[in-house]
A and B are shown apart, each in its own frame.
Chain A
């Protein structure tokens, strides 16, 4: 199971109050995890990436294992610690503003 941690506003939208456990078919990539997340919670479609192009929204970031994966292609394989469920995949609302 892959563990995904959502920012507060997206947890509210998805009506979850903790990390999300997802059963994702390999290969485990950024895109396949987001696909599975959006399939489980359709309300999240369009909130992290564009509906059509799947381009990441500007103020959303993807972290895992202390690395920023935000600029990696969505075909990028996730670290094995995430793939094996030992570390979470983090969706972050970027710090912006003042």
Chain B
């Protein structure tokens, strides 16, 4: 019988939650790497037993962990992320030039067909690739050396490359998103990149429709429609139907269009999920109510999903990489909160139950659908 494995990264360790296809009863293992910030864990689509994990500490820096048995045991692999060539500068918060400096891995994106190939999005924003299972890392310099690179500036969380999307229909095409530079696309396997931010509007910029500088929080894609992208920006939920060439707003009737997480139903490419957050100065859900909003029409028309979620005195956030979907039928939806809860829905969001309630603050949630 098929099942699911939920990989949870928290500020104080990683947890692996497993269940059968019913998704009623859960086995919880962890904390793995207790006491460390686990920014992201993600499994290989080509080999579900291969998992990459970003282990980080303000004291001791970055370690990369790899599991070859589905998260039961782990091995530390390479942690040398060296910027290639003359690293140059980007802009600091005050507009002054600042040398690029590695801080941590925010996101791993394993290749769709090779377990040993994995991409890493890092802070300061750059894209690295390993083709030997994480032992060695090489910067894909075309992104950072793209002509706008010296003008990129950090968002409040740092200048981080947090989103990597691989196009299943075109191995040469890849998307990334950077706070607060915007989104970028390559059509030649990462050799060259271009900003894809036309249609975004950010009032905090001197030119609100500038080519770069937008604080993109997350981007999601349904693999069956790889040219259709959905974006949760700092403010605004956006949609592109032409692989990012242009964007239009689909915030519609959301109570607030600030937020971090966004994802797409596994089988219905026009069904989206977001978790509206009060504002950029109040990073918690609105009115003390934890509500996932679902659109079944590709945006603009949204319905609150509240069944099983706290509707009073709740003041948590859901971070950008902390929502995921499985590919069972009906589609399962999962998200983790800064309050340490991980909620699951085995019916596409109609109702929710907490798998765990009291973990450390959740940084990331990824789901593997197991055969």
| A and B: bona fide binding partners | yes
Where the two chains meet, the residues of A that have a C-beta atom closer than 8 Å to any C-beta of B are 7-10, 12-13, 43, 45-48, 51-52, 57, 59-60, 93-94, 96
Main secondary structure of the interface of B (DSSP, over half): loop
Beta-carbon contact of B35 and A47 below 8 Å: no
Q: Is B63 within 8 A of A43, CB to CB? A: yes
| B247 on the A face (CB < 8 A) | no
**Within 8 Å of chain A (Cβ to Cβ): is B111?**
no
Inter-chain contacts of A93 with B (CB < 8 A): 59-60
- A contact residues around B33 at 8 Å (CB): 12
Q: Which of chain B's residues have a CB closer than 8 A to the CB of A60?
A: 59-60
A-B contact pairs, 17 of them (CB 8 A): A7-B59, A9-B57, A9-B59, A10-B60, A13-B63, A43-B63, A45-B80, A46-B61, A46-B63, A46-B79, A48-B60, A51-B82, A59-B58, A59-B59, A94-B59, A96-B58, A96-B59
Given the complex, which residues of B lie within 8 Å of A7, measured CB to CB? 59
Q: Which residues of B contact A51 (CB under 8 A)?
A: 79-80, 82
Query: Quick one: given A43-B76, A46-B80, A51-B80, are A9 and B58 in contact (CB under 8 Å)?
Result: no
- Contacting A at CB under 8 A, from B285-333, are none
**Measured CA separation A57–B57 after assembly (Å):** 11
Which residue from chain A places its CB closest to the CB of B34 in the assembled complex? A12
Q: Report Cα–Cα, A8/B36, bound state, in Å.
A: 11
Bound CA span A94–B79, Å: 22
**In the assembled complex, which residues on chain A have CB atoms less than 8 Å from the CB atom of B59?**
7, 9, 57, 59-60, 93-94, 96
How far is it, in angstroms, between the C-alpha of A43 and the C-alpha of B62 when the chains are bound?
A: 10
List chain A residues, Cβ under 8 A from B35: 8-9
> Quick one: CB contact mask for B18-39 with A, threshold 8 Å, 1 for yes?
0000000000000001111000
Q: Give the one of A10, A13, A60 with max B CB within 10 A.
A: A13
State the CA gap A9–B58 with chains docked (Å): 12
Residues of B within 8 A of A10 (CB): 60
User: B residues within 8 A CB of A52?
Assistant: 82
**Chain A hits for B82, CB < 8 A:** 51-52
Cα A12 to Cα B74 with chains together (Å): 12
Distance (whole angstroms) from the CB of B38 to the closest CB of chain A: 13
Contact A47 B60 (CB under 8 A): yes
Q: Choose from B36, B62, B79, B80 the contact partner of A9 (Cβ within 8 Å).
A: B36
- What chain A residues lie within 8 Å of B34 (beta carbons)? 12
Q: Name, among B36, B58, B60, B80, the residue most crowded by chain A CB atoms within 10 Å (CB to CB).
A: B60
| Minimal Cβ-Cβ distance residue in A for B57 | A9
B61 with A47: CB separation less than 8 A: yes
Shortest Cβ gap from B85 to chain A (Å): 13
Bound-state CA distance A75–B60 (Å) is 22
User: When chains A and B are docked, how far (Å) is the Cα of A93 from the Cα of B36?
Assistant: 13
Q: Give Cα A60–Cα B60 distance, bound, in whole angstroms.
A: 7
User: Is B57 a contact partner of A46 (Cβ separation < 8 A)?
Assistant: no
A-B contact sample (15 more), CB < 8 A, given A57-B59, A57-B61: A9-B36, A9-B57, A10-B60, A12-B33, A12-B34, A13-B60, A13-B63, A43-B76, A45-B80, A46-B63, A46-B79, A47-B79, A48-B60, A60-B60, A96-B58
Complex Cα distance, B61 from A47, in Å, reads: 5
Residue of A nearest to B36 (CB): A9
Residues of chain B within 8 A of A8, CB atoms compared: 35
Bound-state Cα–Cα, A48 to B34, Å: 19
Q: How far is the CB of B79 from chain A (nearest CB, A)?
A: 5
Interface residues of B in 28-57 (CB under 8 A from A): 33-36, 57
